[in-house]
């Protein structure tokens, strides 16, 4: 217990953050689900707008953009920062849609146990038979920051998935 | 030790996320069930000064609810016009259709038959071409409820990906219809809610989703008509209207049969040809097809001889009573069968005066003009 408390003090917080206490979290994480809606503006031009998924038409086949923004409240540089996100149930990952400036993006096809670059993911389809993993096989996505996250540093990562 | 704890904490959070996301209804070909809530969970791990810190998670957040994508397919199970005889009705004059729920919510369907006026539509079956030129005297819509067909105008409830079979039955095809008369019927299915209320007006809107019993599953979600019209100019079926239509048709096929009876030259007991008591005469009765498009099967020839005549036993080879000859004009095949008393096809036979001779033509079908079935038997003048 003493060791945990010592760690917490070192990290600059007294309560390990949970959902709902994000304001005081050491690293603040916020997730948005959005859909792209095409509208026509006053000039008659088509505009692509992002709308919160909860307020838009979302039915099977529609694409949702999941964006997670992060910002550090840690008083020292945070190292080895890795954000993970399961592909939500009922959704299928859209190939090559994961983005994140300054991150190394890897995927898991085993429920988040292991992560690799897409080309290294192999699915076993039968005795001695394998095939390269497809986007639909991905269960989790991981973004690893290539540099330490400085105090007050922020950024965002995102991916797209379609409703099955 | 610390690292181990962190990993356990992360695992626990992931597990909670997974449980929250579980839905009682799985994903189907029609897509994720309407009313399913989908959320997202992001987590972060990091270390400070080479010490791994507790993992942080957003928990399940940014949740949205999957709306109802309304889609259906109506198709006919008939691969060609359904041939009917004048006077046919009920199951003998039935067009069969399938209604499939391609949407992601349970729906009810209101059914109606679309009747076309003469000349307003043509055969839905390629390459068969014909134009609609009559209507049945009346018709009824039946739905296969799983335990037989029921007379109804709706499919009460159909879950995602399920198919219901529907029939439009003529009641009847008028006896006056002629060979090759053609009647097209469309089955129109309109999606409604299982509580009997209408779906959204227009192509999309907000509404409730119901279960098979008509109870609300979720409220205020998006209802989107996603049915795409594939039959172009068809006025009874549009894009994204929650309705679909398919056509099938009746083709009237009649058959004209001609019956003739002839007698051969009498053979008297004195080597002559006098029609006197004791003389033998051979009768030939022929049923031949001379018109129409249908096939006559189950032909039975019956003849009650005059009271002054009696059928002769053992008149044909093999001690048989009646000779039956069938002729197939298509293959120009003549088949002769000698029928003995007791044979199943010799349905009535006696050697008494005024007896009735009844012969079945068996499985022989009179399906082309020129086909015939004839019987020969001999009588003795009393």
C-beta separation of B378 from B281 below 8 A: yes
In whole numbers, what is the pLDDT of chain B averaged over residues?
Answer: 89
- The predicted structure's pLDDT at residue A153: 95
Chain A residues within 8 A of B69 when measuring between CB atoms: 59-61
Distance from the first to the final alpha carbon of chain B: 122
8 Å CB contact of B31 and A30: no
Q: Give tens-digit pLDDT for B262-290.
A: 999 999 999 899 999 999 999 999 999 99
pLDDT over 70 percentage in chain B: 91
**Nearest C-alpha of chain B: how many angstroms from A129?**
27
Q: Which of A59, A80, A111, A143 is the best substitution to test chain B (most B C-beta atoms within 10 A)?
A: A59
Place A70 in a pLDDT band, splitting at 50, 70 and 90.
very high
In the numeric block, which tokens belong to residue A6? Answer: 């010592």
pLDDT over 50 (residue B21): no
* Chain B residues lying within 8 Å of A17, measured CB to CB: 56
Cis peptide before A38 (omega within 30 of 0): no
Q: Do B42 and A83 touch (CB under 8 A)?
A: yes
Taking the C-alpha atoms of residue B70 and residue B203, their distance in angstroms, rounded to an integer, is 10
Residue-level pLDDT at B236: 74
Contact B212, B201 (CB under 8 A): no
Beta bridge partners, B184, equal B249
**How far does the CA of residue A37 sit from the closest CA of chain B (Å)?**
15
Q: Residues B187-214: pLDDT tens digits?
A: 999 999 999 999 988 888 999 999 999 9
* Contact across the interface for B63 and A54, Cβ inside 8 Å: yes
Residue B293 confidence (pLDDT) = 84
Q: Please, which pLDDT band fits residue B20 given cuts at 50, 70 and 90?
A: very low
**What's the distance, CA B276 to chain centroid?**
60
SS (H, E, C) B316-358: ECCCECEEEEEEECCCCEEEEEEECCCCCCEEECCCCCCCEEE
pLDDT confidence of residue B350: 96
ipTM of this complex prediction, to 2 decimal places: 0.81
Which residues 6+ apart lie within 8 Å of A54 measured at CB? A33, B62, B63, B64, B65
Give the pLDDT confidence score for residue B232 in this predicted structure: 62
Check residue B162 and give its pLDDT.
96
Q: In this complex, which of B30, B42, B48 lies closest to A29 when CB atoms are compared?
A: B42
Under the banding of pLDDT at 50, 70 and 90, the label for residue A34 is: very high
Q: Domain residues for A25?
A: 5-163
- Residue B231 confidence (pLDDT): 66
Mutate to test the interface with B, among A52, A61, A63, A89 (most CBs of B within 10 A): A89
Ramachandran region of residue B175, left (φ > 0), alpha (ψ -120 to 50) or beta? alpha
Burial class (CB in 10 A: 0-12, 13-18, 19+), B134: middle
Q: Considering only alpha carbons, which residue of chain A is nearest residue B102?
A: A60
* Distance from the B146 Cα atom to the nearest Cα atom in chain A, whole angstroms: 29
User: Per-residue DSSP letters for B139-199?
Assistant: EEEEEE-SSSEEE-SEEEEE-TT-EEEEEEEES---TTPPTT-EEEEEEEEEEE-TTS-B-
Binned at pLDDT 50, 70 and 90, residue A21 comes out as very low
Mean pLDDT across the stretch A56-78? 93
What is the arithmetic mean of pLDDT over A91-110?
96
Residue in A57, A83, A90 closest to B32 by CB:
A90
Query: Band of the pLDDT at A6, cuts 50, 70, 90?
Result: very low
Mean pLDDT rounded to a whole number for chain A: 85
Mean pLDDT of the A98-111 span: 96
Q: What is the pLDDT of residue B233?
A: 65
Residue contact A76–B48, C-beta within 8 A: yes
Tokens 């299928």 appear where? A92
Give the pLDDT of residue A44.
85
Asked whether A35 and A91 are in contact (CB, 8 A), the reply is: no
Residue B123 has pLDDT above 60, yes or no: yes
Number of domains in chain A: 1
CATH number, domain of A31, equals: 2.60.40.1170
Rounded CA gap, B143 and B151, in Å? 7
pTM score of the predicted model: 0.74
Q: Pick from A30, A57, A60: which is nearest to B58 by CB?
A: A30
Distance CA B250, CA B276 (A): 56
Shortest Cα–Cα distance, B35 to chain A (Å): 10
Residue A39: predicted pLDDT: 82
d(CA A140, CA B21): 15
* Nearest Cα residue in chain B from A14: B54
Share of chain A above pLDDT 90, in %: 70
B50 has a pLDDT exceeding 80: yes
Instruction: Supply the DSSP string of A133-148, one letter for each residue.
Output: PPGGG--EEEEEESSP
């Amino acid at each position: 217990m003493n060791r945990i408390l010592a760690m917490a003090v070192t990290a600059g917080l007294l309560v390990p953050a949970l959902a709902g206490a994000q304001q005081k979290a050491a690293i603040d994480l916020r997730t948005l689900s959005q859909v792209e809606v095409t509208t026509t503006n006053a000039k008659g031009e088509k505009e692509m707008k992002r709308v919160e998924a909860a307020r838009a038409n979302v039915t099977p086949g529609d694409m949702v953009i999941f964006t997670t923004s992060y910002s550090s409240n840690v008083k020292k540089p945070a190292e080895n920062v890795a954000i993970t996100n399961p592909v939500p149930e009922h959704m299928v990952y859209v190939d090559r849609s994961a983005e994140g400036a300054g991150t190394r993006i890897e995927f898991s096809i085993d429920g988040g146990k292991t992560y690799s670059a897409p080309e290294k993911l192999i699915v076993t389809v039968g005795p001695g038979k394998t095939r390269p993993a497809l986007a639909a096989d991905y269960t989790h996505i991981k973004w690893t920051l290539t540099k330490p996250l400085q105090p007050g540093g922020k950024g965002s990562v995102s991916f797209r998935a379609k409703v099955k | 030790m610390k690292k181990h704890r962190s990993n356990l904490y992360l695992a626990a959070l992931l597990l909670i996320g997974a449980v929250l996301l579980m839905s009682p209804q799985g994903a189907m070909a029609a897509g994720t069930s309407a009313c399913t809530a989908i959320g997202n969970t992001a987590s972060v791990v990091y270390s400070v000064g080479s010490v791994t810190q507790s993992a942080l998670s957003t928990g399940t957040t940014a949740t949205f609810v999957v709306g109802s994508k309304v889609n259906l397919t109506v198709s006919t199970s008939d691969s060609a016009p359904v041939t009917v005889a004048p006077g046919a009705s009920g199951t003998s004059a039935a067009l069969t259709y399938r209604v499939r729920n391609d949407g992601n919510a349970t729906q009810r369907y209101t059914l109606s038959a679309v009747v076309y006026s003469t000349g307003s539509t043509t055969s839905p079956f390629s390459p068969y071409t014909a134009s609609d030129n009559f209507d049945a005297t009346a018709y009824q819509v039946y739905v296969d409820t799983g335990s037989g067909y029921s007379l109804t105008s709706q499919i009460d409830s159909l879950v995602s990906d399920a198919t219901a079979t529907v029939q439009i039955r003529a009641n009847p095809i008028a006896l006056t219809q002629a060979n090759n008369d053609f009647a097209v019927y469309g089955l129109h299915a309109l999606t409604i809610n299982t509580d009997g209320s209408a779906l959204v007006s227009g192509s999309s809107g907000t509404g409730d989703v119901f279960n098979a019993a008509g109870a609300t599953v979720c409220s205020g979600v998006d209802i989107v008509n996603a049915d795409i019209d594939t039959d172009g100019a068809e006025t009874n079926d549009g894009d994204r209207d929650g309705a679909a239509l398919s056509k099938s048709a009746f083709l009237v096929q009649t058959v004209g049969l001609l019956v003739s009876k002839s007698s051969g030259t009498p053979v008297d007991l004195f080597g002559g040809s006098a029609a006197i008591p004791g003389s033998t005469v051979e009768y030939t009765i022929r049923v031949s097809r001379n018109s129409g498009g249908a096939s006559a099967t189950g032909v039975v020839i019956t003849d009650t001889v005059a009271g002054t005549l009696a059928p002769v036993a053992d008149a044909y080879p093999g001690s048989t009573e009646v000779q039956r000859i069938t002729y197939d004009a298509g293959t120009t095949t003549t088949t002769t069968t000698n029928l003995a008393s007791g044979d199943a096809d010799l349905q009535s036979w006696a050697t008494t005066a005024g007896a009735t001779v009844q012969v079945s033509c068996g499985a022989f079908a009179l399906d082309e003009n020129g086909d015939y079935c004839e019987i020969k038997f001999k009588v003795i003048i009393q």
